[in-house]
Amino acid sequence: MSNEEPAAPEEDREHEEPSAAETAEAAREDAENGAAGERGRAEELEADLEEREERVEELESKLKRTQADFQNYKKRAKKRQKQVEERATEDLVERLLDVRDNLNRAVEEESEDVESLQEGVEMTLSEFDRVLEEEGVSEVAPEPGAEVDPQRHEVMMRVESDRPKGSVDEVYTSGYEMGEKVLRPAQVTVSDGNEE
C-alpha cells in the first residue's frame, strides 16, 4: 500500500477549481478577445459614422442645388409674367391706335356736314366698344327701377321719383367691369319714392 491517495474519479476532476495560472490565462484571453471585439465594434461605428457624414454632405449639396434651381425658376417665371403683361398691353394699345386715328380725322375734318361728322364719331365709338368687348370689358348701366348693387353702383344722390324707394332712378355715368372685377361703378341717382 502506498501513501498516495487514490485517483479521483473523472467526475471529481471536472469540478476541480482551475489553478491560478489557468485562471490568469483565461482572463488574458478574455481580455484580448474583448479588446479585439471592442476594437471591431469601434471600427464598425466609425465606418457607419463616415457613411452617414457622407450622406449628410450629399443631401446638403442636393438641397443647395434644389434651392438654387427654385430661385432661378422664380426669376424666370417673374420675367415671363412681365413679358406676358407687356405683350397684352402692346396688343391693346395697337388696337386703340386705330380708334385714336379715327378721332384725329374727325377733329381735323373741316366739313360743315354735322351729320357725317356724327356718323364718323359713332363708328369710332363702335370700334372702341368692340376693342373693350374683346378685352372682356362690359358696361354697367342698370335699368331704371333696378335694385341698387353697392358693389357695382355708386349713389350720387337721392331724388323724388315714381320709381320704388331705394331703386335706381337714372344712370348718371355708366360703369365698367372686366370679368368679376368692377373697373368703375356706375354713378346713379336713387329714388326716395313718391313723397306726396
**Residue-by-residue DSSP string for 155-177:** EEEEE--SSPTTBEEEEEE-EEE
For the chain, what is the mean pLDDT? 83
The per-residue b/e assignment along 30-58, b for 16 or more CB within 10 angstroms, e otherwise, is eeeeeeeeeeeeeeeeeeeeeeeeeeeee
Q: Of 6-10, 27-31, 79-83, 168-172, which range is least confident? A: 6-10
pLDDT of residue 121: 87
State residue 94's pLDDT score: 85
- Which pLDDT does position 7 carry in this prediction? 53
Query: What is the spatial distance between Cα 30 and Cα 65, in angstroms, rounded to a whole number?
Result: 52
Give the pLDDT band (50/70/90) at residue 33: low
Prediction pTM value: 0.53
Per-residue confidence (pLDDT) for residue 34, from 0 to 100:
65
Neighbour order of strands in the sheet with 181-184: 137-140, 175-178, 181-184
Query: Three cell numbers at 26?
Result: 483565461
Which pLDDT does position 49 carry in this prediction? 92
Residue 178, pLDDT above cutoff 80? yes
Residues 6 or more apart whose CB falls under 8 angstroms from that of 138 comprise 132, 176, 177, 178
- The residue length of the chain stands at 196
pLDDT at 184 over 90: yes
Q: Are 177 and 151 in contact (CB under 8 A)?
A: no
